[in-house]
Amino acid sequence: MEDKGSTKKFMEDDEKPSYDDNNIDSQIKKTDGPSSSHNNTQGSTLLLSLSLNNTTQLPHQIQAKPQIQIGKLRVKLEEEKKENENLKAMLNVVNERCIVLQNRLLVAMHMHQISSSPQNNNNLPKGNGQDAEKSMLPTRQFFDEPSSSDCSKKEGFQNNENSMGRNFACENINEGEINKKIEDESSEVSCRRARVSIRARSDFSLMMDGCQWRKYGQKTAKGNPCPRAYYRCSMGTSCPVRKQVQRCFKDESVFITTYEGNHNHQLPQAAKPIANLISSALNTFFTNSSTSLQYGNNLSNTFLFSSPLSPPNSNAIATFSPSPTCPIITLDFTLPPSNFLQFKNHKQSSSLFPFPLQGYPQSFEGFPNMINNERKLALVDVVSEAIAKDPSLKATLFAAMSSFTNGSDPLNINNLSQPSKSD
DNA sequence: CGGTTTTGACCCGCGC
DNA sequence: GCGCGGGTCAAAACCG
């Protein structure tokens, strides 16, 4: 009886994976790394054979065979589970990195557009460079902290030159290392005391962001009769994360939620999309901050931001308000999707790109049948091709990106610096 | 009864 | 130094 019971439990464990199988499988299929697909195939085959063996042998043969057999199978199962967890964690990192890179690219393209525009060149500080340098000194001091600039240096992943970080050498990475990297980045972000403010409609999933919050104050702020509520995360014992929620005065269906700090505890699955969104926003803007600031106030710090959330909330207008004490990144999800294509700082382009990509699809709409992640990957491909085709763009991009990554971009942006090889 | 919300008091940074 | 405003504290009230 004991054997039956343990076997039944064993099979139940097989049938109830701790993660979304469909999701992970579909995502793993998108990674073209040979090792990952190989491992996954191997894992599926093994799990299948384990189930079949159990089915065909039950209950008679199990009783006859020594328990060692079951023990071995369990060990194998545990190994496969570990590997699955490993792949899952890697996948999360890859997805997050992809989003960050995509947003950086958009920012860099924005820079390219502005720097190549004669009108804006006139607005840039010229002549006495010391004056310009002096004027932005306080902000740069804030952003040039070692913790922020070193962020990218800790990345240990290696990527394929053509895939912009989609192929990872996964054999040498274990889950612990991945988690450590994520935690390192989280702590770096939190020490900057930056805030991410999200403007969203009341039906937005943000209202139920997966965390437990305890209200600790309410105040009516000046200029907005709607009271502002202060919440503290109550999931961890002393979690430093706080959020403020306030209705928009002009449109009461819009909620402005401001997050500050990083959770010091494990997040529930439901809280991860918002956490990833905030993390992406912080990474995108902080790793680009030094370049942004070189343009001072002459540059509009408003960009399209591609968020890790599912459609229809997958894009936002992001606004960065640099401040030495408390920089704020505002993500505006209140615009309907159709308005994103109309949003432009640039007269000549109505696409998501701030400048025309000759001979390439002008927006994500060029990939109508793709799901969001595929569109993002396709965007990376399109941009890669555009970079390969236009040496001047390549050089400009590299100059912009290397200036804020100090040549140590986690996604190996250095690859862009070698036009001679690809040419 | 323990956790959460409410609300007035208090603290602190900033501008004048 | 003073006033203002944003943010936090903490005691009382509330709730399941």
Report the pLDDT value the prediction gives residue A385, as an integer from 0 to 100. 56
Bridge partner list, A195: A260, A328
* Protein-proximal positions, strand B, CB < 7 A: 3-9, 13-14
Specify whether the CB–CB gap between A423 and A391 falls below 8 A.
yes
Strand-strand pairing, A242-247 and A328-332: unpaired
Report the pLDDT value the prediction gives residue A266, as an integer from 0 to 100. 81
Helix/strand/coil for A334: coil
* Protein-proximal positions, strand C, CB < 7 A: 4-10
Report the pLDDT value the prediction gives residue A321, as an integer from 0 to 100. 72
Token output for A113? 């557009």
Between A377 and A14, name the one with better pLDDT: A377
The residue to which tokens 């999701």 are assigned:
A23
CB atoms under 10 Å from CB of A52, counted, come to: 10
Is residue A77 pLDDT above 70, yes or no?
A: yes
Task: Give mean pLDDT, residues A195-202.
Answer: 81
Residue A244 beta carbon within 7 A of nucleic strand C? yes
Specify whether the CB–CB gap between A326 and A191 falls below 8 A.
no
Report the pLDDT value the prediction gives residue A88, as an integer from 0 to 100. 75
The residue to which tokens 């965007």 are assigned:
A379
Between A392 and A151, name the one with better pLDDT: A392
Query: Measured in Å, how far apart are chain A's first and last C-alpha atoms?
Result: 70
The answer to whether the Cα torsion of A401, A407, A408, A412 is positive or negative is positive
Specify whether the CB–CB gap between A267 and A210 falls below 8 A.
yes
Residue A227 beta carbon within 7 A of nucleic strand C? no
**Distance from residue A224's CA to nucleotide C3's C1', rounded to whole Å:** 21
**Distance from residue A250's CA to nucleotide C1's C1', rounded to whole Å:** 38
- Nucleotide closest to residue A230 (CA–C1'): C7
Residue A213 beta carbon within 7 A of nucleic strand B? yes
Report the pLDDT value the prediction gives residue A276, as an integer from 0 to 100. 80
Task: Give mean pLDDT, residues A65-73.
Answer: 78
Give CA–CA dist A29/A38, Å, rounded. Answer: 11
Helix/strand/coil for A204: coil
pLDDT digits (tens, 9 = 90+) for A78-115: 888 888 878 877 776 676 666 666 666 666 665 565 55
pLDDT digits (tens, 9 = 90+) for A110-150: 556 555 554 444 433 333 333 333 333 333 333 333 333 33
- Going by pLDDT thresholds of 50, 70 and 90, the confidence category of residue A249 is confident
For residue A151, the number of C-alpha atoms closer than 13 Å in the C-beta half-sphere is: 29
Q: Tell me which residues from 183 to 212 on chain A have a beta carbon below 7 angstroms from nucleic acid strand B.
A: 212
**Distance from residue A217's CA to nucleotide C12's C1', rounded to whole Å:** 14
φ/ψ of A191, rounded to 5, equals -70, -15
Q: Tell me which residues from 100 to 129 on chain A have a beta carbon below 7 angstroms from nucleic acid strand C.
A: none
**Distance from residue A219's CA to nucleotide B5's C1', rounded to whole Å:** 14
Residue A227 beta carbon within 7 A of nucleic strand B? no
Interhelix angle A34-57/A2-15, nearest 10 degrees: 150
**Distance from residue A199's CA to nucleotide B11's C1', rounded to whole Å:** 29
pLDDT digits (tens, 9 = 90+) for A268-287: 888 887 888 888 777 766 65
Residue A214 beta carbon within 7 A of nucleic strand B? yes
Give CA–CA dist A209/A200, Å, rounded. Answer: 12
Residue A217 beta carbon within 7 A of nucleic strand C? yes
**Distance from residue A234's CA to nucleotide B2's C1', rounded to whole Å:** 14
Radius of gyration of chain A (CA): 24
Token output for A48? 């299948």
Chain CA centroid to CA A410, Å: 13
Q: Which long-range CB contacts under 8 A does A109-113 form with residues at least 24 apart? A: A109/A353, A109/A354, A109/A355, A109/A397, A110/A303, A110/A345, A110/A354, A111/A291, A111/A292, A111/A295, A111/A299, A111/A396, A111/A400, A112/A354, A112/A355, A112/A393, A112/A396, A112/A397, A112/A400, A113/A345, A113/A346, A113/A354, A113/A355
Q: Which amino acid is at A205?
A: S
Q: Which amino acid is at A223?
A: G
Q: Tell me which residues from 305 to 344 on chain A have a beta carbon below 7 angstroms from nucleic acid strand B.
A: 325
Specify whether the CB–CB gap between A258 and A242 falls below 8 A.
no
Is residue A243 pLDDT above 60, yes or no?
A: yes
Is residue A254 pLDDT above 80, yes or no?
A: yes
Question: Cα–Cα–Cα angle for A174, A176, A182, nearest 5°?
Answer: 110
Specify whether the CB–CB gap between A368 and A379 falls below 8 A.
no
- Going by pLDDT thresholds of 50, 70 and 90, the confidence category of residue A198 is confident
- Nucleotide closest to residue A325 (CA–C1'): B13
Compute, in degrees rounded to 10, the torsion defined by CA atoms A33, A35, A37, A41: 170
Residue A219 beta carbon within 7 A of nucleic strand B? yes
Highest-pLDDT range among A7-16, A17-26, A300-309: A300-309
Specify whether the CB–CB gap between A329 and A195 falls below 8 A.
yes
DSSP letter assigned to residue A208: G
Report the pLDDT value the prediction gives residue A167, as an integer from 0 to 100. 34
Least confident of A123-127, A182-186, A243-247, A381-385: A123-127
